[in-house]
Structure 1
């Protein structure tokens, strides 16, 4: 994040102080938490996640705008997982992604595929290439039913990582072959 981006995040919180609903303030803190993770600032990330949770616990408000409907506990867990992955903590990321994939409604199929793909990525970064391949395989059958550039990009990266000769196993080769057959395009 650029200096200008950090300033605009800070300005949004300052300007919205006093009139923003808890959900809007939660969203602003989540965006700041994600920005701090990209900057590699673990303490900034942790501080903003704490503030986001505190605001979220204040509940909904009659003045919440409809677009804030996605600001849920799931959204916070997802931001936390992606941030932990960026911060180099795949174990904590995997915990968040597991929670996401087990608790999402079937109506959120695209998010379930996205977080399952991110779980495979976190598992790979933990060093378990076979489990990463198995998790990736679970996404491939549904990939043609859901249009998501994010899922496709992350699956392509997983395929690239698992396709390296030095980490080749029967399970990783099976994933690489299945990926090719599914013709997933980022």
Structure 2
């Protein structure tokens, strides 16, 4: 009797588990599960237990969503090599779907554009976002999201006028709130998200005061996914680089309490940058130096440098394929 072929993995259940982990605990804790799940799915593909060559569109959509969720988690965990690879897999799968079912392609491209900016590749980020904005009639919230991606790229290139125009457009397009055309995946792009990214753009442009005000607003918003701790860490970094020592000390003291529960590796790395900025500062109060020394020790324990799988930060080998 021939051995029974293995049962295909339940991709939807895996995706739901990853989403729940990411929302509650963050990427730091979800990344190992994401990698195990990806290995299980790819092993099933290798032995034919999970076929994609002539798969039903619904199955392709489920698989694309799974790879994209895993890619997002690995991005927030600073695992950019596997994140990029899985985003490319998700993108290839979405482009085999009927046109009306391809909205997740836009999510993949938005993450790719953000990843490129995070890795300081603004021209690549700008190409990705510009191709999407030029190519189709987008729902308002999605269009606003890609204008935000454009703004960050322009800011990194030093083009403040275009960056601010892109932000103005994003605010205009999202002023009326959600629309019926917005895809379900865009739920997280709300006022707090826009404020936070607006603040990051202003920080890139050297407007520390404006950046701090918007990041304060984003941090003050209740709810939202776990990765939004990033905005608080970025606020600390902005304040430290501006030499606002009293505000920096108050915020870093508070963040030291929450850092062990912080699930975003990007946020923890931003805290490291804030600590470094204090270390390079002048006339830093003794109390703040003590705070940063304690926080540096905590960060070393929570996210040791050189731990296998952590801080895998490198440039993807090729450009992503933009939206068609």
Gaps of 5+ in 1: none
Give the conservation status (yes or no) of the 8 Å contact 1:123–1:131.
yes
Normalised by the length of structure 1, the TM-score is 0.86
Flag the structure with higher helix content.
1
Structure scoring higher RCO (CA < 8 A, sep ≥ 6) equals: 2
Aligned residues: 182
* Aligned match of 2:135: 15
- Equivalent residue for 2:250, pick from 130, 134, 140: 134
Gaps of 5+ in 2: 1-120, 306-324
For the structure 1 residues 2 and 31, does the alpha-carbon distance in structure 2 shift closer, same or farther, using more than 3 Å as the test?
closer
* Aligned match of 2:126: 6
For the structure 1 residues 15 and 119, does the alpha-carbon distance in structure 2 shift closer, same or farther, using more than 3 Å as the test?
same
Give, in angstroms, the shift of residue 109 of structure 1: 4.8
Normalised by the length of structure 2, the TM-score is 0.52
* Aligned match of 2:180: 62
Q: How does 1:107-126 map to 2 (within 5 A)?
A: 108-111=225-228, 113-126=229-242
- Establish whether residue 89 from structure 1 lines up as the match of residue 219 from structure 2: no
Q: How far, CA to CA, are the matches of 1:36 and 1:143 in structure 2?
A: 31
Q: How far, CA to CA, are the matches of 1:110 and 1:170 in structure 2?
A: 31
Give the conservation status (yes or no) of the 8 Å contact 1:163–1:172.
no
CA RMSD of aligned residues (A): 2.1
Give, in angstroms, the shift of residue 165 of structure 1: 7.5
Give the conservation status (yes or no) of the 8 Å contact 2:126–2:149.
no
* Aligned match of 2:171: 53
